[in-house]
Every structure is written in C-alpha cells, then in structure tokens.
Amino acid sequence: MQKEDTDILLEMAHDIQDTYGYIPEKEIAELAEKLSESRATIYGALEFYSMFYTEPTGKYIIRICDSISCYMNNSNEVLEAVQDYLKLEAGETSDDKLFTLEVVECLGHCGEGPVMMVDDRLHTQISPGRAVEILSKLH
Amino acid sequence: MLQERKFLKGPELRDIDDYDFPGFQKALEMGPEAIVEEISKSGLLGRGGAGFPTGKKWELAYQEEGENKYIICNADEGEPGTFKDRYLLDERTLKVLEGIMIGAYTIDADTGYIYIRGEYSRQIEILEETLQKARKAGILGEDILGSNFSFDIKLVRGAGCYVCGDETSLLNSLEGMRGSSRSKPPYPISKGLYGCPTLVNNVESLACSAEILNQGAEKFASMGTEESSGTKLVSLSGDINFPGVYEVEFGSASLQEIIEDLGGGSQQGQEIKFIIPGGLSTPIVPSDNLQAEYSYEGLQQAGSSVGSGGMMVISTAQELSDILTRIARFYMDESCGTCLPCREGNKQIYRIISEAKYAGLTVDRLNLIQDIGDTMQEAARCGLGRSAQLPIGTILSEYKEELIEGGNLP
Ligand SMILES: Cc1cc2nc3c(=O)[nH]c(=O)nc-3n(C[C@H](O)[C@H](O)[C@H](O)COP(=O)(O)O)c2cc1C
Ligand code: SF4
Ligand code: FES
C-alpha cells in the first residue's frame, strides 16, 4: 500500500514537542489516528529518536557534546562542572523540573568545542565557569 | 605554502534577491541528458562518505520510470568531526537549493526533501526562511521561471540519531518509522521513499553539482587528480590551532600541509600522534604517514579514506584510552539495534575498552575486540556496524604495545 506523503511523523512530533515540551499520551493517540497506525507503532517509532520525549522533561534541556573533538577541547571539564552544579547524571531531570541533562554525541560544531546547547540555543568554546554561569541565570 | 582553492566557498549567499540561479537556468536550457553528461564528465564523487559517482547516480535515477520520483538532500551530518555541510547551509544556502533543483529537474522529481539533523536549529531557521522566500519568488512551485517544471521542497527535522544519515534509515525515518536501515538491494534509486525512485545526495554533492553547471565540468575536472576531481571541504578539528572548514583541491597537498598551512599546526606545538582523516568511520593515519597526498587514491594508499572529510588531529597529549572509549561509546550509542553483530558487538567492545582504562588491555582482550570487530565488518547490515572496526581496529593495532603496557594489570 502506498502511503500519502503529506503527513510526516517526524515533523508532527517536533511540532507537538515544541508546544508541550514532550509528546503526551493523548497526542500519541491523535498521531495514531491521523496516520492510521496503532498507538504502539507510533510510540515505538518515537521512542527510537533520542530527541523525542514521551515523558515530561525539565523546562530546559541541556545538551553537552562529549564526542571526540570536544573531548580534546576539555568537554569533560565542562560536563563535570555542570553535573556538579545541577547534581544530575546524564539523562536525569532535576527535582524542581527545571533541567534535563543530556550528554550527546557530535553536534556538528567540532571546531568550536566544547559545545553546550540550552534547548535550541548553542554555546560554543564554553568554559566550565561560563557553562555554570549560563545555567545559573535560568529559572 | 598551501592555499585554499575556492570552488564551493564564497561570500554568504542567502538572499533570493541577490541570486538568479544561473546554474538552474542553464540546466533548463540543457535538458536532463546533457546535465547527466556534464555531471559525469566532471568526475564528481558523492561527498557524503561513500564516494559513489554522482553523474552515474543521476543517470540511473533519470532512467527510472515512475509516477512519483523524489530527491532527498541529506543534511543529517552527524559523523563526529564533520561540520562542512553546516558551513554550506549557513553560507551558501542558495547553492544548495540550486543543486537540489537541478537534481530534481534532471530526474523529473516533483517533490524534494531536505532531511536536516534536529540539532541544527539555526540552519533549520535559515532553510525555512529560504524556502518560503523561494516560493514567493517563484523559484519553487508551479512552472518555475516560466518552464513547465514544477517542484517544491519539504524540510524535515531529524531527531538525534546518527544512523538516520544512512540513506536507507533516512527513508524509514521520513516514512514515519524507526530509523533502522533497510537491506540493499533494492536501492533507493529504484525503490526509495514510499517505494518510488529516489535520489539521495549529500549537501556538498548537491552544492558541487550546482557549481559544476555554473562554472563548468571542465573547470571541476581540471582540478584535482585523475581519480579525484575537484575540491573537498575539509572540517579540521581536535588538537589544532585554527580549526574550521577549509576547501582543498585534491592532490594539491599532503595531510601534513593541510594541518600545518591551513590549520596552523597542532595546538601548543604538541606532537601529533595520529589523525582521523574522514570522520569517525575512517581508519586512522599515524603521524609517520602524514606525507600522504590528500586524494581518494592517496588516502587509500595510506590505509584510510576521504570519508566525509572530517579531519581530526590527535596529539600525544591525549590519553589514548579515553579517545578509544569515546569512539566505542559512539558506536554503541548510535547502533540502531536491528542486527545482532552490531548491537551486541559494539556493547562488548565498549565494555572491554572502558574497563581497560583501569584493568589494562591484555593480548587476549585485544584479540577479542579484533574478532568482534571483524565479525561486525562482515555481518552487520549497514555502514554503521561495518565501520566501527575501522578507527578502533587501526588504533589497537598501531598502538598495541602502548595499550597493553598502559593498563595497571601485570
Ligand atoms: C551510519 C551512516 C551515516 C551516514 N550519515 C550521512 C550523513 O549524515 N550525511 C550524508 O550525506 N551521508 C551520510 N551517509 C551516507 C549516505 O548513506 C549516502 O551514501 C549519501 O547520503 C549519498 O549521497 P552522496 O552520493 O551525495 O554522497 C551515512 C551512511 C551511514 C552508513
Ligand atoms: S549495522 Fe548497526 S546500525 Fe546498521 S542496521 Fe545493523 S544494528 Fe542498525
Ligand atoms: S565533537 Fe563536539 S560538536 Fe563535534
């Protein structure tokens, strides 16, 4: 069966996540309906993608690259400082639901490492101190 | 002293009002068959990593019959050490658009996709705006520039998976499924998106194609060597003074010259230990081989490949086991899990390597990694599983003594 190419799950899911910060159960049901798939299929697909969340996350998602080039520019020091400050391990969300911390692979800014993203906002050549300073201003 | 050779690079080109798409206009005059011939004559090889001749790909896609045909611009750029497509999307946006349009016209596609990694938020904004303006200006849409050709492009954001850069995973991903790979054949050219003929090209390949029509296949072919035409965007990073994207004419420089003349040498004058010349899925080139010529054949002779052009410089100041651990972790984390050798193999390799930092690497463990790696190279379904062994295996064999001595075990 040939499917329609008008509705693209990835784009629909991004839009939902841009609105809610994650993809809630009822939206999964709606996606399933719109795309004529089972909820399990949609859920299984979304779960594959590391940028999609089916549970609420922190208000801010902090992504720190620890791939090879950033590592050579001391990403581990930035990561340690941020982990210390937030008291979070990779993949965890803070109790006050302010931050989710993700340690990620290459973000495509290897010439300007270390690199930290706060949601869509990119910070390059970041020092441990500067990283913490940026986070301390977020409420 | 080596200088950049600028064929793709140039001033920022984003504003539709500043550009009248001469390459595309020429394409409309030439017609599909002449375009295919021109691209073939240029000798352009795909810049996404696999190096398949672009002209041949376009010819095959042109010959395919189908009510719907698609073109996909692969902007998923996720291979560690690679950021040259981002440069093109940022600075040479309209050249990328022009390349997609020429490809679409050549194979007669009416819909195109740009699959861009979800983390490229700035580039996503730029592309959204560009596409909107292009539609307004009649560069996209019905009867473009008064021709009978109608075409539009959809921008689709990926969601954090390196494996989706593989063209077959990308197709599954676009179709709303998990981004795991498909077995080939059938190739996307004959049965791609929604089962229709689909041309998938890398951002740089498409920008090159636009410039080949603009500046001529002859000019492109006159640069480089017999087997490596034209120029390549090299992303330089790691222990290097001036990291960045540099355009290098194939055959005009050794690896050493690229590092010294363009990259300003290694950071703080540290001694270079090895480089990874083409992204994290290419074998390393140890420092005693940096005289190798930068070209497909030169790097092949040096035991590696051009790959994506993501060149990482690793100095002796780095802890080898930490570098290895990160490479192994990358493959473990990014494996899509569909086939056993890659899913389990990468986990095992990561475990042995990360433990080795404290427990030491014995000859037995080293052999075990090689065995697992060899199995993956043979039995894994897609390029991800098949290439894990390339950087890891070459580091292990090159620095065997150091790694075995390096641990704390007797
Ligand atoms: C795991 C994996 C990841 C890949 N990632 C990319 C990518 O991010 N961008 C890209 O253009 N090609 C990538 N490729 C190569 C594509 O499968 C495909 O060969 C390429 O997009 C074709 O374009 P080209 O002929 O213009 O190079 C990847 C391949 C594999 C196996
Ligand atoms: S080789 Fe790895 S990434 Fe590729 S299909 Fe198999 S499990 Fe997935
Ligand atoms: S290695 Fe960190 S952005 Fe590429």
Whether residues B79 and B196 share a domain: the answer is: yes
Residue B4 lies in a domain: no
Whether residues B50 and B165 share a domain: the answer is: yes
Residue B375 lies in a domain: yes
The secondary structure of chain A in percent helix, strand, coil, rounded to multiples of 5, reads: 45, 15, 40
B87 touches chain A (CB under 8 A): no
Q: Which residue of B has its CA nearest to A35?
A: B176
Q: Name the residue with tokens 């021109």.
A: B38
Ligand nearest to the CA of B386: 2
Backbone angles phi, psi at B405, to 5 degrees: -70, -30
Whether residues B240 and B187 share a domain: the answer is: no
Out of B167, B173, B187, mutate this one to test ligand 1's pocket (max ligand atoms within 8 Å of CB): namely B167
3-state DSSP of B330-385: HHHHHCCCCCHHHHHHHHHHHHHHHHHHHHCCCHHHHHHHHHHHHHHHHHCCCHHH
B17 vs B59: CA distance, rounded Å: 32
Ligand nearest to the CA of B310: 3
Residue B44, min C-alpha distance to chain A (Å): 24
Whether residues B118 and B253 share a domain: the answer is: no
Please give chain B's pLDDT, 410 residues, in tens.
999 999 999 999 999 999 999 999 999 999 999 999 999 999 999 999 999 999 999 999 999 999 899 999 999 999 999 999 999 999 999 999 999 999 999 999 999 999 999 999 999 999 999 999 999 999 999 999 999 999 999 999 999 999 999 999 999 999 999 999 998 899 999 999 999 999 999 999 999 999 999 999 999 999 999 999 999 999 999 999 999 999 999 999 999 999 999 999 999 889 999 999 999 999 999 999 999 999 999 999 999 999 999 999 999 999 999 999 999 999 999 999 999 999 999 999 999 999 887 777 889 999 999 999 999 999 999 999 999 999 999 999 999 988 887 654 43
Name the token pair of B98: 């022009």
Question: Three-state SS for B247?
Answer: strand
Considering only CA atoms, which of B305, B298, B302, B326 is closest in space to residue B314? B326
Q: Which of B281, B296, B315 marks a domain boundary?
A: B315
Residue B9 lies in a domain: no
Mean of all residue pLDDT scores within chain A: 94
Ligand 1 site, residue B383, Cβ cutoff 6 A? yes
Considering only CA atoms, which of B407, B237, B245, B393 is closest in space to residue B321? B407
pLDDT band at A1 (very low <50, low <70, confident <90, very high): very low
For ligand 1, the distance from its centroid to the CA atom of residue B328, given in whole angstroms, is 20
Residue B374 lies in a domain: yes
A66 touches chain B (CB under 8 A): yes
For ligand 3, the distance from its centroid to the CA atom of residue A69, given in whole angstroms, is 5
Ligand nearest to the CA of A105: 3
Residue B343's CATH number: 1.20.1440.230
B396 vs B372: CA distance, rounded Å: 13
Name the token pair of A18: 């841009």
Whether residues B202 and B325 share a domain: the answer is: no
Whether residues B283 and B376 share a domain: the answer is: no
- pLDDT for A51: 97
How many domains does the structure of chain B reveal?
A: 3
Contact A110 B235 (CB under 8 A): yes
For residue B378, give the amino acid letter. Answer: E
Whether residues B356 and B255 share a domain: the answer is: no
- Give this complex's ipTM: 0.96
Whether residues B300 and B354 share a domain: the answer is: no
**Atom 19 (ligand 1) nearest CA:** B50
Q: Which domain holds residue B275?
A: 231-315
Considering only CA atoms, which of A110, A86, A111 is closest in space to residue A102? A86
* Model pLDDT for residues A93-130, shown as the tens digit of each residue: 999 999 999 999 999 999 999 999 999 999 999 999 99
Ligand 3 site, residue A42, Cβ cutoff 6 A? no
Please list every residue in chain B whose beta carbon sits closer than 8 Å to the beta carbon of residue A48: 161, 178-180, 336
Please list every residue in chain B whose beta carbon sits closer than 8 Å to the beta carbon of residue A35: 176
- pLDDT for B406: 60
Residue A5 in this model has a pLDDT that exceeds 70: no
Residue B216 lies in a domain: yes
Ligand 1 site, residue B47, Cβ cutoff 6 A? yes
Residue B76's CATH number: 3.40.50.11540
- pLDDT for B408: 43
Whether residues B158 and B67 share a domain: the answer is: yes
Contact B119 A11 (CB under 8 A): no
Which residue in B166, B241, B315, B326 has the most chain A C-beta atoms within 10 A of its own C-beta, making it the best mutation to test that interface? Answer: B326
Question: Which ligand 1 atom is nearest residue B334's CA?
Answer: 1
A3 touches chain B (CB under 8 A): yes
Whether residues B240 and B371 share a domain: the answer is: no
pLDDT band at A2 (very low <50, low <70, confident <90, very high): very low
- pLDDT for A6: 65
A-B C-beta contacts closer than 8 Å: 137
Out of B167, B172, B180, mutate this one to test ligand 2's pocket (max ligand atoms within 8 Å of CB): namely B180
For ligand 3, the distance from its centroid to the CA atom of residue A65, given in whole angstroms, is 6
Whether residues B250 and B148 share a domain: the answer is: no
A10 touches chain B (CB under 8 A): yes
Contact B156 A69 (CB under 8 A): no
- The reported pTM is 0.97
Question: Which ligand 3 atom is nearest residue A67's CA?
Answer: 1
Residue B8 lies in a domain: no
Whether residues B54 and B181 share a domain: the answer is: yes
Nearest residue, CB atoms, A45 vs list B117, B176, B334: B176
Considering only CA atoms, which of B148, B172, B81, B94 is closest in space to residue B126? B94
Please list every residue in chain A whose beta carbon sits closer than 8 Å to the beta carbon of residue B112: none
Residue B11 lies in a domain: no
Residue B40 lies in a domain: yes
B232 vs B14: CA distance, rounded Å: 22
Considering only CA atoms, which of A51, B93, A52 is closest in space to residue A42? A52
B75 vs B47: CA distance, rounded Å: 12
For residue B409, give the amino acid letter. Answer: L
**Atom 4 (ligand 2) nearest CA:** B382
Residue A7 in this model has a pLDDT that exceeds 90: no
Q: Which of B271, B291, B315 marks a domain boundary?
A: B315
Q: Which of B221, B249, B283 marks a domain boundary?
A: B221
Ligand 1 site, residue B384, Cβ cutoff 6 A? yes
Q: Kindly report whether the peptide bond that precedes residue A114 is cis, defined as omega within 30 degrees of 0.
A: yes
DSSP 8-state secondary structure symbol assigned to residue B173: H
Contact A14 B334 (CB under 8 A): no
Ligand 1 site, residue B373, Cβ cutoff 6 A? no
Q: Which residue of B has its CA nearest to A49?
A: B159
Please list every residue in chain B whose beta carbon sits closer than 8 Å to the beta carbon of residue A13: 159
- pLDDT for B407: 53
Question: Three-state SS for B410?
Answer: coil
Percent of chain A with pLDDT over 70: 96
**Contact (CB, 8 A) for A15 and A41:** no
